[in-house]
């Protein structure tokens, strides 16, 4: 082992120097005695060093072979590393500086405040302006911004919206497509995102099968939603909605005007107050006492149950209906029968 030889040589040198120095000391001692003592000392030292070197070399062969070997002997050789205090101090300082540097350069972590949310439930049959007023009231988005976004934002990536016909006589393009349900909104949410929640609700509930069913009836899905929006407003009793839908289809097929009061209420209460300029410009396109068939677009946002009723109208031949203040409905296939029903309902 090279380290052992070097160490032994170092010890020998020290001893020789020490012995030499001893020989020049002791003025009262005999010169011959010093020579004998020096010679004896050197021989003893030489023998000791040789013995030490033999042991060191044997041990180095066992320890330096790079493998751990099992032994029956309880004695275990542990290699010892010698490090000066300066090295320890320097290493500790380096470690301290490294930790300090990491702590200093670490990005400060600040807790991001959670955005406030509000959960709102929208019942079937609400209009677009009613929905936007509620969103404004609960600070989800500004009413005017919602109205502007609904009119200008491109939502054509929604299949239902992409099929809405382009019609200059249609007042609010997305009327009928704000699917009623319970939604959670962020306070101060982007208006296009708030509206998107309703559109996604429609996408999730109105299926391809339902669109095919509308086509089988001879109507577009937009026309079915328009019919459902009228039924939603006319059907105070949910058990009657399939019959009301049948009356609408029967009158359309007979070429009759629908003459539904709900279409007048829609224009007067939910459209005109939000128009500028000629506020009467949509009257003849939505008032079903004036327009020849369906209005130019839906007059409310119908729920899934009513849309399904519009897709599955009752098999009846009624052309008229009315109801009393307790939501009891009276149907008639002729106008004379209808006049009698009006009396029963307490209307005339």
185 has which bridge partners? Answer: 118
Q: Would 15 be classed as within a structural domain?
A: no
What pLDDT is attached to residue 113?
A: 63
Q: Would 284 be classed as within a structural domain?
A: yes
What pLDDT is attached to residue 23?
A: 45
Which residues, in sequence order, are CB contacts of 82 under 8 Å at separation 6+?
none
Q: Would 57 be classed as within a structural domain?
A: no
Q: Would 29 be classed as within a structural domain?
A: no
Name the burial class of residue 339, with classes exposed (0-12), middle (13-18) and buried (19+) by CB atoms within 10 angstroms of its CB: middle
Name the burial class of residue 124, with classes exposed (0-12), middle (13-18) and buried (19+) by CB atoms within 10 angstroms of its CB: buried
Q: Would 89 be classed as within a structural domain?
A: no
What's the structural domain count of the chain?
A: 1
Q: Would 34 be classed as within a structural domain?
A: no
Rounded CA-CA distance 151/131 in Å is: 15
All residue ranges of the chain with pLDDT < 70 are 1-113, 348
Q: Would 166 be classed as within a structural domain?
A: yes
Do β-strands 117-121 and 182-186 pair in parallel, antiparallel, or remain unpaired?
antiparallel
Q: Would 302 be classed as within a structural domain?
A: yes
Question: Which residues constitute the domain of residue 298?
Answer: 117-316
């Amino acid at each position: 082992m090279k380290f052992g030889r070097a160490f032994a040589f170092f010890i020998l040198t020290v001893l020789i120097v020490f012995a030499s120095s001893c020989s020049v000391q002791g003025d009262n001692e005999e010169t011959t005695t010093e020579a004998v003592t020096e010679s004896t000392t050197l021989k003893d030292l030489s023998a000791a060093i040789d013995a030490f070197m033999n042991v060191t070399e044997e041990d180095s062969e066992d320890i330096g072979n790079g493998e751990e070997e099992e032994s029956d002997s309880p004695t275990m050789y542990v290699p010892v590393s010698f490090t000066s205090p300066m090295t320890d101090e320097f290493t500790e300082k380096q470690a301290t500086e490294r930790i300090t540097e990491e702590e200093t350069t670490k990005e400060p972590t600040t807790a991001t405040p959670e955005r406030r949310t509000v959960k709102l439930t929208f019942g079937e049959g609400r209009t677009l302006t009613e929905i936007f007023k509620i969103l404004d009231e609960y600070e989800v988005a500004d009413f005017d911004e919602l109205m502007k976004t609904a009119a200008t934002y491109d939502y054509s990536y929604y299949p239902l919206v992409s099929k809405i016909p382009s019609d200059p006589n249609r007042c609010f393009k997305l009327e009928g497509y704000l699917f009623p349900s319970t939604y959670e909104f962020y306070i101060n949410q982007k208006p296009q995102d708030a509206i998107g929640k309703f559109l996604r609700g429609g996408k999730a509930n109105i299926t391809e099968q339902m669109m095919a069913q509308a086509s089988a009836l001879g109507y577009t899905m937009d026309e079915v939603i328009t019919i459902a929006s009228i039924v939603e407003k006319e059907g105070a009793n949910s058990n009657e909605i399939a019959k009301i839908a049948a009356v609408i289809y029967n009158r359309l097929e007979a070429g009759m005007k629908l003459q539904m009061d709900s279409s007048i209420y829609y224009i007067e209460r939910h459209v005109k107050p939000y128009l500028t300029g000629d506020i009467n410009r949509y009257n003849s396109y939505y008032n079903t006492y004036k327009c020849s068939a369906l209005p130019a677009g839906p007059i409310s946002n119908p729920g899934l149950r009513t849309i399904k009723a519009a897709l599955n109208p009752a098999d009846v031949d009624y052309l008229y209906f009315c109801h009393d203040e307790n939501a009891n409905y009276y149907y008639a296939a002729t106008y004379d029968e209808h006049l009698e029903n009006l009396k029963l309902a307490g209307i005339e």
